[in-house]
Amino acid sequence: MPPLRSARRGNELDGAVAEVGPSARGVRGDVSILADLDRLFAIVRAEAGAIDVLFANAGGGEFVPLEAISEAHFDRTFQTNVKGTLFTVQKALPLMRDGGSIILTGSTAATSGTPAFSVYSASKAAIRSFARCWILDLAPRRIRVNVLVPGATSTPGWHDLAGSEESHQQMIDFVRSTTPLGRLGKAEESASAALFLASDESSFVTGSELFVDGGSAQI
């Protein structure tokens, strides 16, 4: 099937579709809203009929210290990162081909403690647990499930985590000093890893975490 992408923000979605080219299709929606997912997969069924590869990549987080965590912050993070991932995969399953590939997006924050990032970290630990269980649920269909784990990556979302220029520079300096390769990752590097997990080159890989983090989670 041709590439199909869903996102909440229309301008970002349009840009991503334009970058892929005329074969791509964009559908605006929110993965935490089940009606949006139903609409998305109805379009997939009508236009493509089946899914070979599903990349559940929607997510986000904010720096909030323990004493300042609100119910709204918790709900917002878990609605997108956990609920959204779960129901994206569940609702895609009737369209998934046997032997297909599901890729989930984890985070180094799930394995390494990060100050003021506990809710996000917990949500990404849930993603790791999903993969461990789902490879058993989906074994009869030979559908592989793996977790792509990017480290700090130079994307608008990562840079927007900083509340000021000073904190932004502190974040960059921290990554450089704690990453063996000494720099932020590039989005293209995570994309290459996702392509590997999507392809037959990883046909005997399931339940794994593929770290694209410059070694930061390994020290």
Q: Which residues are catalytic?
A: 120
Rg of the Cα atoms in the chain:
17
**Tokens representing 188?**
């293209």
State whether the Cα torsion 75-77-78-79 is positive or negative.
Answer: positive
Rounded CA gap, 6 and 39, in Å?
A: 11
**Tokens representing 78?**
């878990």
The HSE-up count of residue 203 (CA atoms within 13 Å, CB side) is 4
- Which residues, 6 or more positions from 56, have their beta carbon under 8 angstroms from its beta carbon? 31, 84, 85, 88, 89, 102, 103, 104, 105
